[in-house]
Structure 1
Amino acid sequence: MMTGFSEDTFSFLRQLAENNNRDWFAEHKDDYEDVVREPAFAFIEAVAPRLKEISTHFEAKASKVGGSLMRVHRDSRFSKNKTPYKTNIGIQFRHEQGKDIHAPGFYVHIEAGEAFVGVGLWHPDAEALKAIRSHIDTFSAAWIEAISGDKFSRLFHFAGDAVKTAPKGYAKDHPMIAHLKRKDFIAIAQIAPELCLEEDFAEVVVDYFKLTTPLMGELCRALRVPF
């Protein structure tokens, strides 16, 4: 089974970026199904058994409602960008407890001209953020070891927001202050968009995920969820 996407996928995303309106999308809904949703579902199904090699606690669901493929519709209520549709494909593999609490997950981002894989937590709530900072403070050596693997360090970088000053309860000269200042705990690795067209794309992505298992393990331990 082909688990990658096609040039038609990128073509559709480029056209959507140029015609980001409801009338155009309605006219090309079948194209979306054929070149985005169906190959995305095939990709998710191909990832599922491979993901279990990392952990059995993350979900790969090829379903229209509550599945791993994120909605194409944008929530523009609080954004200056009022275009109705996302021009990228977002696929998330959430922790089984992710619906009830903030828990780390795996992510794949595909758009015309860019692709990346990501892991971790985006905008954790105050309780989760406090727990992660406490874990980093208490288990500093384990945290450093988790993010110091040769391939991980070479391929991944941390992204997201950080506070400008030391968080409450931590000294500004704390040896882990750069990590404690983070508001997001996301690690991202850019990948060549052409890889999305390969039949073994699912295997490629999971190989990237495997490099992050020490980090994901630490985040899960910090939040007291199984890994």
Structure 2
Amino acid sequence: MTTKTASKAAFTAPTLEFMRELVQNNNREWFQANRARYDAAKTELCAVVERVLAGLSEFEPLANTAVKDCIFRINRDVRFSKDKAPYKSNLAFAVGPGGRHSGRIDYYVHIQPDNQSFLGAGMWQPTPANLAKFRQEVDYNAQELKDIIEADSFKAYFPEIHGETLKVMPKGYPADHPEIDLLRRKELFFLHRYTDKEVLKPNFADEIVRGSRIIKPYCDLLNYLFYDEKEEPVTL
């Protein structure tokens, strides 16, 4: 990344204002009339993603991961939705090996005005098989997970926990299990919210990298459980 590109890797107030107005004018006619404003916003988004990629590459294997592979389209898929608004109210990208479709636990960044921007990562809508692996790990060795998510530095940066929780214990586990709260989790996703003022700072991309570094051990643990764990050899 060139110094010139890096120096411009920031969002500006007109980008947030465009997104704010889009919510009130979510139709193709208005969007096309304001296409130049969207293009300017996307240019800023690409520059921020490029800088984030450079920072994350220091501790993540992101070779051959392009900016375009990380960015989500602003167009909504309305085929099966009652809400037919054609555009999303946010700009977003996710960083993992190969981009947003890495198939692994990655870092998700959501940019939305009025202090609704955030960095998030963790277990979200896992497959039944992966949820079973998570619960098995909690049952056998909850301490490793707890050492990560209960660390003071982690809780300070990621105070919000999102995701669905069972009202009863999952099948196969006793109701008096010492890790009942974790075992009831169907999702365990953490958020750090950013104010508009923070989003507009020149070093915002670097702040995303800092937050990603904090949550990396949790992502690494999930990726190991879900995708990297080797099966025991079969003895005939």
Whether TM exceeds 0.5 here: the answer is: yes
Contact 1:59 1:93 in 2 (8 A): no
- Look up the match of 2:23: 17
Do the aligned partners of residues 17 and 97 (structure 1) sit closer, same or farther apart at CA in structure 2, a change above 3 Å counting? Answer: closer
Residues 80-127 of structure 1, C-alpha deviation per residue, up to 9 Å, x if partnerless? 3221111111111134597474x2110111111121110113211111
- Look up the match of 1:199: 202
The answer to whether 1:131 aligns with 2:133 is yes
- Look up the match of 1:161: 164
Secondary structure of the residue aligned to 2:167 is coil
Q: Cα RMSD between the aligned structures?
A: 2.1
For residues 134-149 of structure 1, what are the structure 2 equivalents within 5 Å? 134-149=136-151
Residues 5-49 of structure 1, C-alpha deviation per residue, up to 9 Å, x if partnerless? 000011100110010011111222221111x21111101110112
- Look up the match of 1:111: 112
- Look up the match of 2:232: none
Q: How far apart are residue 59 of structure 1 and its match?
A: 7.7
The answer to whether 1:219 aligns with 2:222 is yes
Secondary structure of the residue aligned to 1:76 is coil
Compare 103-112 and 132-141 and name the one that shifted more. Answer: 132-141
Do the aligned partners of residues 11 and 60 (structure 1) sit closer, same or farther apart at CA in structure 2, a change above 3 Å counting? Answer: farther
Within 2, Cα distance between the matches of 1:58 and 1:148? Answer: 32
Do the aligned partners of residues 158 and 60 (structure 1) sit closer, same or farther apart at CA in structure 2, a change above 3 Å counting? Answer: farther
Compare 71-80 and 114-123 and name the one that shifted more. Answer: 71-80
Q: Which has the larger radius of gyration?
A: 2
Q: Give the unaligned 5+ runs of structure 2.
A: 1-6, 230-236
Contact 1:97 1:225 in 2 (8 A): no
Report the residue type matching 2:149 in the other structure.
Answer: I
Contact 1:105 1:119 in 2 (8 A): yes
Report the residue type matching 2:43 in the other structure.
Answer: E
Q: How far apart are residue 79 of structure 1 and its match?
A: 3.4
Contact 2:148 2:154 in 1 (8 A): no
Contact 2:65 2:98 in 1 (8 A): no
Secondary structure of the residue aligned to 2:175 is coil
Q: How many residues align?
A: 221
Contact 1:105 1:121 in 2 (8 A): no
Normalising by structure 1, we get a TM-score of 0.89
Do the aligned partners of residues 133 and 216 (structure 1) sit closer, same or farther apart at CA in structure 2, a change above 3 Å counting? Answer: same
Do the aligned partners of residues 88 and 204 (structure 1) sit closer, same or farther apart at CA in structure 2, a change above 3 Å counting? Answer: same
Q: How far apart are residue 173 of structure 1 and its match?
A: 2.1
Secondary structure of the residue aligned to 2:70 is coil
